[in-house]
Amino acid sequence: MLALGRLDGAAISMPDADLLIYTFVRKEAVLSSQIEGTQSTLDELLMHEIDAAPGATGDDVREVSRYVDAMNHGLERMADGFPLSTRLLREMHGLLLAGRGAQKQPGEFRRSQNWIGGTRPGNAAFVPPPPTHLDASLTNLEQYLHESVNPIVKAGLAHLQFETIHPFLDGNGRVGRLLITLMLCHDKVLHKPLLYPSLYFKQHRQQYYEALNAVRANGDYERWIDFFTEAIRHSAEVASETGRRVTQVFGEDRAQLRAVPRIAGSLLMIQEALQANPVATVATLRAATELTTPTVNSLVHDLEARGIVRESTGRARDRVYVYRRYLEALAAEE
């Protein structure tokens, strides 16, 4: 609670908090999806979002992009007063699995038996409740989401129970991890979604799965809560440090650019645009700043010479520029 409080307090006072939300949400999307086996990176996701991915955009990056859509949808719906509910989780699941085909039943709870590991329920590592038990199990879970208990313990038990129910044919892990941030925001422990716990889950993947299974096999709730609360504490401290590091980078770069004769104002406009989206093309920077194409080209080359940005494609045309110091600060703990 103290670690989350420090993170939330920093977010409220941080001048660049809204800029960090943009990348932190996407960082969580990339990490949570990597736990499920996707190979997409944050750079690739940001390039995809400005239609600048080299070659054809792969399925992995589209999958991560849909995770961002699902997260934003859930946060926006709750901000508009929609209750945290299984209906909201179905809406988010529909966005997450959009384009995956009707056989995956996007936005619908499963109507058939699923299992984890093995080739059939008889040799599976774990078999979730049968479809006939889903309504009762999910009703119970939804009621628990609104209980007045410690919000971190509640988020941990809700994540555990959601994963145990496994109500969808696909995407359960990602929706279950989305639920953690939604609950902490819903319960006002966090006012901004700056937490990315999937980094800790990814770094301790074996312990993550073992702690979940220890409850199912032996009723070892204490082990799971120990693991989960440590994950939240560590994630909050990492997010606070990352926010401090990024804010420092922004400030140092602004100070350096203010000292440049004649073109300081224009350079700062480009830097401000890159703070909002650290992957950009000349066209997107021109649209964000309303500067001319030749001017943007000249300014980007200046920033590249100063080591603030780098060109990421190696192409002679349709180049993509990355706010190098920003992304390095974001990835320092990985």
pLDDT of residue 123: 94
CATH 1.10.357.10 fits 259-330, yes or no: no
Q: pLDDT at residue 63 above 90?
A: no
Q: What is the pLDDT of residue 47?
A: 86
Residue range 137-144: mean pLDDT, rounded: 97
Mean pLDDT, range 115-137, rounded to an integer: 93
pLDDT value at residue 317: 81
The CATH 1.10.3290.10 domain(s) of the chain lie at 2-239
Q: Which amino acid is at 287?
A: A
pLDDT at 55: 47
Give, in degrees to the nearest 5, the angle at Cα 333 between 19 and 330: 20
CA quadruple 292, 293, 298, 300: dihedral, nearest 10: 110
pLDDT in tens, 65-76: 999 999 999 999
From-to residues of CATH 1.10.10.10 in the chain: 259-330
Contacts for 118 with CB less than 8 Å, ≥ 6 apart: 124, 125
CB-based burial of residue 302 (10 Å sphere; 0-12 exposed, 13-18 middle, 19+ buried)? middle
327 compared with 58, residue with greater pLDDT: 327
Average pLDDT, the chain: 91
Burial 179-191 (b: 16+ CB within 10 A, else e): bbbbbbbbbebbe
In one-letter notation, the amino acid at residue 118 is: G
pLDDT at 41: 85
| Residue 56 pLDDT | 41
Percent of the chain with pLDDT over 70: 97
Residues with Cβ < 8 Å from 41, sequence gap 6 or more?
30
Q: What are the distances in angstroms from CA 172 to CA 14, 104, 160? A: 34, 12, 11
Start-to-end CA span in the chain (Å): 23
Give the lowest-confidence range in 151-160, 246-255, 268-277, 314-323: 314-323
pLDDT in tens, 74-108: 999 999 999 999 999 999 999 999 877 667 899 99
Q: Check residue 99 and give its pLDDT.
A: 76
Mean pLDDT along residues 243-255: 93
Options 3.40.50.970, 2.40.30.10, 1.10.3290.10, 1.10.3720.10; which CATH number does 2-239 get? 1.10.3290.10
| Whether this model's pTM surpasses 0.85 | yes
Give the gyration radius of the chain's Cα atoms.
22
Q: Is the pLDDT of residue 235 over 80?
A: yes
Specify the amino acid at residue 105. Q
